[in-house]
Amino acid sequence: MNSETQARIQDLVQQNKILVFMKGSKLMPQCGFSNNVVQILNAVGAPFATVDVLEDSEIRQGIKEYSNWPTIPQVYVDGQFVGGSDILIELYQSGELQQMLEVALAS
């Protein structure tokens, strides 16, 4: 990944309390895993931003290197990588996600 792409990703992650790199948008997810993440975040009522990786191949590849995580979607909370769809489902079911988001939004 070039330094410009890395800087763009870093800016996006730092500027948004809750950010999802996904296929499609929160209004129109383009894959089932991205849709799962959107549904979970909507269910907890958390405001979040999205980046459509299908619109930018550099971001699509760069985010995998940035997080050292091979799949999309990727969720960031308060500047920290949380995980993908499976991890978000687990955190939601355990109640940890709601607590994590409340702390992030309060800071």
Domains of the chain plus CATH, in order, are 3-106 (3.40.30.10)
Average pLDDT, the chain: 96
Question: How many Å apart are CA 16 and CA 75, to the nearest integer?
Answer: 11
Q: pLDDT tens for residues 47-93?
A: 999 999 999 999 999 999 999 999 999 999 999 999 999 999 999 99
Provide the 8-state DSSP code for 54. Answer: G
